[in-house]
Homo-oligomer: A and B are copies of this chain.
Amino acid sequence: MAQKYVTREEDYSKWYNELVYRADLAEHSDVRGCMVIKPYGYAIWEKMRDILDVKFKETGHSNAYFPLFIPKSYLSKEASHVEGFAKECAVVTHYRLKNAEDGSGVIVDPDSKLEEELIVRPTSETIIWNSYKNWIQSYRDLPILINQWANVVRWEMKTRLFLRTTEFLWQEGHTAHATKQEAIAEAELMLNVYEDFAENYMSMPVIKGRKTANERFAGAEDTLCIESMMQDGKALQAGTSHFLGQNFAKAFEVKFADKEGKLDYVWATSWGVSTRLMGALIMTHSDDEGLVLPPALAPIQVVAVPIYRTDEELAAISAKMAELAAKLKAKGISFKYDDDENRRPGWKFAEYESKGVPVRVAMGPRDLENGKAEIARRDNKTKEVIDFDGLENYIEQLLADIQSNLLQRAKTFRAENTREIDSYEEFKQEIDKGGFFLAHWDGTPETEERIKEETKATIRCIPLDRKEETGVCMVTGNPSAGRVIFAKAY
């Protein structure tokens, strides 16, 4: 008897939590706010990482690794950075345990107190710029284009698997440049890399935009972002790329000599995406039956299940499936043949459905006789009976179709849930229904703050490609230079 799961309609939040367990992606650990990423979930993250890593290298970046620990005083060096990050962090104060004298276990050895506490990195600008200081003397040392894949810790009070966890995995790019223009171009370039990844691999449409001053990264002069819409109409910030100006260079005294020997502070960017993308992926595509994966990120792209009564039937089907496996392998398509005798086909169908395997092949004795196989696609749950001859080509095309169908479907959903709005009264009534609201705003932090307090909606971004249109702020009636996107967000 299959377990009954809650639907998106009934309880979206619970549906999400159940799905993460059901698809065996991750689970809560006993350590507050920290998750265990299980093999199937990690395999998806590995695919994300490997694809992004190639893109980072193609755009000239190298990987490196900086310390997990940051001396407490470093955080204070950049004024707004410490405000943003010092509040929620894990603090290492001692470096040794010892046996309790009463034999009750181990205790912290008070003699091992550190002179200066160490912070487990919430982000690495400070420790990295402290290194760059020694690496940069002249324009010849620039640009520095480095990325780091790492774990980071931000002490979150309310956590959700993948979306907000105390420890998470991410990549953080940290670049140093001789000119402002070059740094800005770098921040834009990496935003485009993120957009490409989101749309063409995750099949997740995103809006490229700029954060308001309120929502900027602590220490940035400009924060660019990609914003996506989840199926409940809430927004999710999927990646950010920051132009840091000379803030960190000034905080860590990093100057370079230009060709004329003139000294100036170095220009910086940083940019990152994290395991949060797993949450975005899940909430963009999945349905009440479980995970739905775009083929480009599916650890198993095609699963095949034999349907048989006798050993002879199984042997004949298995021989056909071995043929198919070889042909798919030659095309670089990952394939799993599940002939586990202890599970019935129905159980397997449900299992691979909940795990989001894009294409399922089933073959029974009659299919075998007719030279056919039943092909089910996960995205729209349609089935077709297809000639076994040339099936590998059909599947290859089908995977491409699924990849683009998922993107198209998500784009349609977003379009249907995006509207222009001009009345604040109406906005207040409509905002709880979810979706993106394009509204005029007077550009002040005060108005932004008021809207947030009254509606819990935030300005997700000022879209980079917004329509040229002047108007009046829906709240204050003051002039506005264009519409911004309001939404409730994860």
Contacts and interface: CB of A to CB of B under 8 A. Distances in A.
B66 A29 contact: yes
Given A97-B75, A97-B91, A131-B29, A65 B169 contact: yes
A480 interface: no
A39 B62 contact: yes
Interface residues of A, number: 62
Contacts of A29: 66-67, 127, 130-131
Contacts of A169: 65
A387 interface: no
A63 B34 contact: no
Contacts of A151: 68, 150-151
A75 B106 contact: yes
A105 B67 contact: no
A72 interface: yes
A25 to B, nearest CB: 11
A42 B65 contact: yes
A217 to B, nearest CB: 18
A93 interface: yes
B30 A68 contact: no
Nearest to A62: B39
Interface in A109-128: 112, 117-120, 127
A257 interface: no
Contacts of A87: 96-98
A46 to B, nearest CB: 6
Nearest to A91: B94
A357 interface: no
Interface string A72-93: 1101100000100011111111
B106 A86 contact: yes
A36 interface: yes
Given A90-B118, A118-B90, A46 B31 contact: no
**Copies of this chain, count:** 2
A273 interface: no
A92 B67 contact: no
Given A64-B39, A120-B120, A30 B71 contact: yes
A67 B106 contact: no
A55 to B, nearest CB: 16
Which of A38, A64, A73 gathers the greatest number of chain B CB atoms within 10 Å? A64
Nearest to A50: B50
A213 interface: no
Contacts of A38: 64
A63 B155 CA distance: 25
A42 B66 contact: no
Given A62-B39, A146-B39, A67 B127 contact: no
Which of A29, A31, A71 gathers the greatest number of chain B CB atoms within 10 Å? A31
A167 interface: yes
Nearest to A76: B105
B97 A34 contact: no
A413 B98 CA distance: 43
Given A31-B70, A105-B73, A88 B92 contact: no
Interface in A19-71: 27, 29-31, 34-39, 42-43, 46, 62-71
A153 interface: yes
A42 B68 contact: no
A91 B117 contact: no
A108 interface: yes
A95 interface: yes
A98 B76 CA distance: 11
A31 B67 contact: yes
Contact of A67 (B36, B62, B63, B130): B36
Which of A37, A82, A97, A342 gathers the greatest number of chain B CB atoms within 10 Å? A97
A92 B91 contact: yes
B46 A95 contact: no
A58 B66 CA distance: 31
Contacts of A98: 86-87
Given A69-B167, A75-B97, A76-B105, 4 more contacts: A27-B134, A34-B68, A92-B93, A93-B94
14 contacts: A31-B70, A34-B69, A42-B62, A42-B63, A46-B63, A67-B167, A68-B153, A72-B97, A72-B106, A89-B95, A91-B93, A91-B108, A108-B117, A151-B151
